[in-house]
Structure 1
Amino acid sequence: MNASAGRRLTRRALLVHCTLLAAASALPGARAAAPRRVLVLGDSLSAEYGLQRGEGWVALLGERLARDKIAASVINASISGDTTSGGRSRLPALLKQHQPGVVVIELGGNDALRGLPLSMTRDNLLAMVRAAKQAGAKVLVVGMQVPPNYGRQYGADFAALFAQVAKTEDTGLVPFLLKGVADSPQADAMFQPDRIHPIAKAHPTMLDNVWAGLKPLLG
């Protein structure tokens, strides 16, 4: 092989190499890691009811991700008054639109306030978890509890169903969103006049509760 032919072969090999690199870089697994999307599907506790914009735990989550330099963005799809039935009906379109890597499901409290059957709440939560997993997302189930006046047995069964769903579907779990708020010695001072929705001061604690379950899912 003469020198000219060798140079042509070298250039051809280099061209093929560069072409293969370009093709590989176009593959999803080879691209630089894109920001993960965290979809929060919740009710008024996540929708900043009665608060100034940016004071709720979901907004604070976005700030924490930025502060900790975690490449993730937050989509807050929470609606005040929403139930698990409402969330179940809305979720497919949200999954298609946002393609989240993590779905946080904070629903169920309004089911209890409306006296809906626990079996319905459980079935709706299971359906949402399975839909999110089928779409390729990890899931965090956020639990809720009801006041003692609902009855001891009902309260225990309601609180337990979130853990049951999380165990059945092997998801992340926040046992009680309002831990450290509703059960604190100063609980009365942590809520708005309706005694249902926490004030802004309580939301950093709520975020800490969610963060404990969410951080492992972010990798």
Structure 2
Amino acid sequence: MIRLFSLIFIFSFSAVANSSTLLVLGDSLSAGYNMPIEKAWPSLLSEALEKHNKTIQVVNGSISGDTTGNGLSRLPQLLEQHKPDYVLIELGANDGLRGFSPKLVSNTLTDLISITKQSNASPILMQIRIPPNYGKRYSNAFYQMYPKIAEQENIPIIPFFLEHVVIKPEWMMDDGLHPKPEAQPWIAEFVATSLYEHL
């Protein structure tokens, strides 16, 4: 019996030791806007990744309203506290809604990636698309910025989940910007399917 318990303990310890940590650095789209945090898609992501044979502990470091600049100021402490193996950067939507210069946003995203690499974590970028509030030229330039950064920095980029959610009115809040709790399980599955091969 003692030997059996020892084997169980060793197996459990090995499973924990072999698991990796993913930090999600995002804004309200990841923070669970107007819902309990446990219903937000990052809280559901670990279970979704298990379906792809990935044992990942997910830390949600997202705050509603954050810009890339806010994320940059918070990232060093999050890296020190959680020591993640991967950082998924889901930021930029608030920069775009405020009309920030794409060059400024690009520089800040590059800084986020650089700091992540310096901590020996692997950065992963999420594509962001913004509404054409400031014209099609601005929104296109903003959208095209993400794959350029990913290519320059030689890091993975995954698709923007909101493009698939916004077409379902029953999944969107009345503000037209944020997914409802009902959409979160689908988002977690979508992100997991896009993400697992990079982990």
Report the TM range for the smaller structure's normalisation.
0.7 to 0.9
> Over aligned residue pairs, what C-alpha RMSD do you find?
1.8
Question: 1:172 maps to which residue?
Answer: 156
Q: Report the Cα offset of residue 159 of structure 1.
A: 0.7
Letter of the 2:116 partner, please give it. A
Picking from 186, 189, 194, the partner of 2:175 is 194
Distance 2:28 2:75 in 1: 17
How many residue pairs end up in the alignment? 184
| 8 Å CA contact 1:43, 1:106 repeated in 2 | yes
Question: 2:184 maps to which residue?
Answer: 203
Letter of the 2:141 partner, please give it. D
Cα deviation code 1:140-181 (max 9, x no counterpart): 101111123431111111111111111111111123231311
Q: Report the Cα offset of residue 33 of structure 1.
A: 4.3
Distance 2:142 2:188 in 1: 22
- Radius of gyration: which is bigger? 1
3-state SS of paired residue (2:188): helix
Letter of the 2:193 partner, please give it. A
Larger RCO of the pair (alpha carbons < 8 Å, separation 6+): 2
Asked whether 1:214 is paired with 2:198, we answer no
Asked whether 1:91 is paired with 2:72, we answer no
Q: Report the Cα offset of residue 66 of structure 1.
A: 4.6
Question: 1:152 maps to which residue?
Answer: 136
Cα deviation code 1:51-107 (max 9, x no counterpart): 234222101102223555533201100000000000011111111111111100000
- Structure 2 unaligned spans of 5+: 1-15
Tell me the TM-score normalized by structure 2.
Answer: 0.85
- Structure 1 unaligned spans of 5+: 1-31
Distance 1:48 1:100 in 2: 21
Asked whether 1:54 is paired with 2:38, we answer yes
Question: 1:142 maps to which residue?
Answer: 126
| 8 Å CA contact 1:35, 1:71 repeated in 2 | yes
| 8 Å CA contact 1:138, 1:217 repeated in 2 | no
Question: 2:55 maps to which residue?
Answer: 71
Distance 1:175 1:64 in 2: 17
| 8 Å CA contact 1:140, 1:213 repeated in 2 | no
Question: 2:145 maps to which residue?
Answer: 161
Identical positions, percent:
38
Question: 2:18 maps to which residue?
Answer: 34
Q: Report the Cα offset of residue 204 of structure 1.
A: 3.0
Distance 1:88 1:123 in 2: 11
Distance 2:121 2:194 in 1: 15
Moved over 4 A (4+): 66-69
Tell me the TM-score normalized by structure 1.
Answer: 0.77
Distance 2:177 2:129 in 1: 12
